[in-house]
Amino acid sequence: AQKVTQAQTEISVVEKEDVTLDCVYETRDTTYYLFWYKQPPSGELVFLIRRNSFDEQNEISGRYSWNFQKSTSSFNFTITASQVVDSAVYFCALSAVRGGDKIIFGKGTRLHILP
Amino acid sequence: GAVVSQHPSRVICKSGTSVKIECRSLDFQATTMFWYRQFPKQSLMLMATSNEGSKATYEQGVEKDKFLINHASLTLSTLTVTSAHPEDSSFYICSAGRGRGVTEAFFGQGTRLTVV
């Protein structure tokens, strides 16, 4: 079975602070993909990153960075110097080859960046 | 990236009527499309997987006769909510897979359905 856990339901930080969104996943597959999506109030899903299970290298893209640790089955997402426009719901997701290639989403973390 | 277009973005219908939602891959062929449902302030729940030319595979608990899915071509999948009820009001999102599985999956803009 596949499962994605985002323990943080809602987070509020003041603008310019750094914030880390946690994601823990479960799968028995050795080949899988992890994703992060942003969902602003408009509802559209904005793709942020995809990482395959064989690539544990951390990634940085501007103010965004991701820490993938297979040892703890975690794929955490950090926003540095947060901005009000970062306010949204963020979903971590998992897709495993033997799981039928379906993308399974976590429950999401609602992030509020306060001015 | 590839573009997936979902239409309509919003629809209001009366109880008892049926509503069709379209999901199109505009610049690639999607052998597999997925339909998700999202209740307010909740996660996306996979409803079904559709493969071009074959019957859709529904997730446990999803009524096949209520949520009809058709994937008639490599660029179009449709979800029809039949005999809609207020409890069917939700946000429906499709995604289309390009190539092998969902290593590359692209999402539509979503459809907000309100049944009155």
What is the mean predicted confidence (pLDDT) over B28-46?
90
pLDDT at B51 exceeding the cut of 80: yes
- The answer to whether B32 contacts chain A (CB < 8 Å) is yes
Residue B38 and residue B89 in contact, taking contact as beta carbons nearer than 8 Å: no
Burial class from Cβ neighbours inside 10 Å (0-12, 13-18, 19+) for residue B20 reads middle
What confidence score (pLDDT) does residue B53 get? 79
- Chain A within 8 Å of B58 (Cβ-Cβ)? no
Q: Note whether B93 contacts A33, CB cutoff 8 Å.
A: no
Residue positions counted in chain A: 115
Euclidean distance between CA atoms B95 and B24, whole angstroms = 9
Nearest CA among B83, B75, B87, B18 for reference residue B50: B75
Mean pLDDT of chain B: 90
Residue A115, pLDDT > 60, answer yes
User: Is residue B18 within 8 angstroms of chain A, CB to CB?
Assistant: no
Measured between beta carbons, the chain A residues lying within 8 angstroms of B93 are 43, 45
> What's the average model confidence in pLDDT over A24-49?
92
Are B109 and A95 within 8 A, CB to CB?
A: no
pLDDT at residue B52 greater than cutoff 90: no
Residues of B whose CB is below 8 A from A37: 107
If one compares B97 and B71, the residue with the highest pLDDT of the two is B71
**What integer is the mean pLDDT of B7-21?**
97
Size of interface A-B (CB pairs under 8 A): 54
Taking CA–CA distances from B102, the nearest residue in chain A reads A101
pLDDT digits (tens, 9 = 90+) for A69-79: 999 999 999 99
Q: Is the minimum CB–CB distance between B97 and chain A shorter than 8 Å?
A: yes
Task: Choose between B31 and B98: higher pLDDT.
Answer: B31
